[in-house]
């Protein structure tokens, strides 16, 4: 019996005259993601996308599960139903439901049947299909009873143009917008909890991600680098391929500690990072920077400090976590799958030379006066010249694997 995935749109339905371009982008994204898993055919019609094995391809259980998870993590899809396809006559629908749902219905106590008749030419009405099929399932599975308010399983029948589709309900998927429909952004990716969440949230709004990680070897370790690469890989399961730039700030940090007032160190370093990230963003044709900052979480994330760091760049800085508290961010990190990696105890470059009394309400003229003590452009150019770029995907193999 052939299993297919019915993928329901989210916001794409509301796009009016532009809807076809969003649908096309989403289909291309699905084909790209599934090609490493198996031979799947992706098509659309009647406000859903159909993902089905190509003729001659018979996926095993593990392959089907991997394909399903991939579809569930594709932004632009709000829900996915795993379905069996049946001919459009009631006898075939009943036979398919009894076979396809047998294992699921044998292990539960309550159910109900819901029918959507998109093809109005089908002779039976929706409530008639639900009633007839519900009776057949009750007769076949003595363990079952009907509960229309809070059933263990909702058996769904969808009568569409080409076939009928039977499922044990649908699951909420990634939602959001297709990746790439809203441009490209440069994520400042640290080893913490917040920045992977920020990247995920912007990818959910259709932004294609590139990323930059700042290291300070030997003050930061190889393990810290591998941790960030793993975080990028985990985010890429949702966002697609990420070009990750790794930039050394060792010389910059050492010069800052020698030449500048310690209280300004974190702010000065952040301004360097923003300048470098912007140059990489321009080179990569990104339209914005993305950070994981949350208002007031640390000294460099006060309103005044954020204004100081933003003043050195000319492109928008998106901070999707800005109004979230730590527990809210952690909740998203667990959903994304990055939390356990983020809490691994490896240092990042912002914590190596943390001042005892960082400025929380800095003034831009005083910060600029500190910057005049060092050669900004030469240090930035040297850091960019040594940058390393890695193409990260869900299939990337790092040295730890």
Of 129, 144, 172, which one is at a domain's C-terminal end? Answer: 172
- Radius of gyration (Cα) for the chain, nearest Å? 26
Q: What is the mean pLDDT of each run of 10 residues along the chain (401 residues)?
A: 90 86 94 95 91 94 96 96 95 97 96 95 96 97 96 96 94 95 96 96 98 90 92 97 95 85 86 96 98 87 90 96 96 97 77 64 86 88 94 81 54
DSSP 205: B
pTM reported for the whole predicted model: 0.90
How high is the pLDDT of residue 264?
83
Asked if residue 211 and residue 145 are part of one domain, the reply reads: no
DSSP H or E stretch at residue 329 = helix 326-336
- Comparing CA positions, the residue from 143, 168, 137 lying closest to residue 155 is 168
DSSP H or E stretch at residue 43 = strand 40-45
> What residues form DSSP beta bridges with 392?
242
What CATH number does the domain containing 373 carry? 3.40.50.620
The tokens for 72 are 């569930």
Task: Determine the structural domain holding residue 311 and report its residue range.
Answer: 184-392
In a domain, 222, yes or no: yes
Q: What is the largest CA-CA distance in the chain?
A: 84
CB contact set of 316 (below 8 Å; sequence gap of 6+): 287, 288, 289
CB neighbours of residue 14 within 10 Å: 10
Asked if residue 226 and residue 168 are part of one domain, the reply reads: no
How high is the pLDDT of residue 350?
55
How high is the pLDDT of residue 287?
97
Asked if residue 339 and residue 295 are part of one domain, the reply reads: yes
**The total number of residues written for the chain in this structure:** 401
Asked if residue 198 and residue 165 are part of one domain, the reply reads: no
Asked if residue 256 and residue 374 are part of one domain, the reply reads: yes
- Render pLDDT for 97-147 as a digit per residue (tens, 0 to 9): 999 999 999 999 999 999 999 999 999 999 999 999 999 999 999 999 999
How high is the pLDDT of residue 262?
80
In a domain, 400, yes or no: no
- Render pLDDT for 215-270 as a digit per residue (tens, 0 to 9): 988 888 899 999 999 999 999 999 999 999 999 998 888 888 888 888 888 889 99
Q: How far apart are the C-alpha atoms of 77 and 323, rounded to whole Å? A: 26
In a domain, 179, yes or no: no
Asked if residue 227 and residue 160 are part of one domain, the reply reads: no
In a domain, 178, yes or no: no
How high is the pLDDT of residue 348?
65
């Amino acid at each position: 019996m052939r299993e297919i995935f019915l993928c329901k749109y989210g916001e794409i339905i509301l796009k009016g005259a532009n809807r076809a371009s969003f649908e096309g982008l989403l289909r291309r994204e699905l084909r790209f993601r599934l090609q490493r898993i198996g031979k799947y055919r992706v098509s659309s019609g009647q406000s859903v996308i159909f993902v089905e094995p190509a003729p001659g391809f018979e996926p095993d259980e593990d392959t089907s599960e991997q394909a399903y998870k991939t579809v569930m993590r594709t932004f632009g899809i709000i829900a996915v139903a795993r379905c069996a396809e049946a001919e459009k006559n009631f006898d075939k629908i009943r036979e398919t439901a009894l076979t396809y749902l047998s294992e699921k219905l044998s292990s539960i106590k309550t159910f109900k049947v819901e029918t959507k008749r998109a093809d109005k030419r089908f002779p039976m009405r929706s409530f008639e299909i639900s009633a007839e099929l519900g009776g057949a399932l009750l007769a076949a599975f003595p363990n079952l009873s009907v509960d229309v308010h809070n059933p263990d399983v909702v058996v769904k029948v969808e009568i569409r143009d080409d076939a009928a589709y039977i499922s044990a309900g649908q699951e909420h998927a990634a939602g959001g917008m297709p990746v790439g429909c809203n441009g490209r952004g440069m994520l400042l990716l640290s080893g913490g909890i917040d920045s992977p969440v920020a990247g995920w949230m912007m990818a959910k709004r259709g932004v294609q991600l590139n990323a930059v990680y700042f290291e300070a070897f030997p003050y930061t370790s190889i393990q810290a680098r591998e941790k960030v690469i793993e975080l990028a890989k985990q985010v890429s399961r949702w966002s697609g391929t990420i070009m990750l730039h790794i930039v050394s700030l060792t010389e910059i940090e050492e010069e800052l500690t020698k030449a500048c007032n310690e209280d300004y160190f974190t702010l000065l370093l952040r301004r360097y990072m923003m300048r470098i990230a912007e140059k990489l963003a321009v080179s990569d044709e990104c339209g914005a920077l993305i950070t994981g900052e949350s208002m007031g979480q640390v000294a460099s994330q006060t309103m005044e400090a954020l204004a100081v760091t933003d003043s050195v760049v000319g492109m928008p800085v998106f901070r999707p976590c800005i109004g979230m508290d730590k527990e809210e961010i952690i909740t998203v990190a667990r959903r994304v799958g990055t939390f356990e990696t983020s809490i691994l105890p490896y240092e990042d470059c912002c914590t190596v030379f943390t001042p005892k009394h960082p400025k929380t309400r800095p003034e831009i003229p005083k910060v600029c006066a500190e910057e005049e003590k060092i050669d900004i452009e030469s240090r930035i150019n040297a850091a960019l010249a040594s940058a390393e770029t890695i193409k990260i995907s869900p299939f990337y193999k790092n040295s730890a694997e």
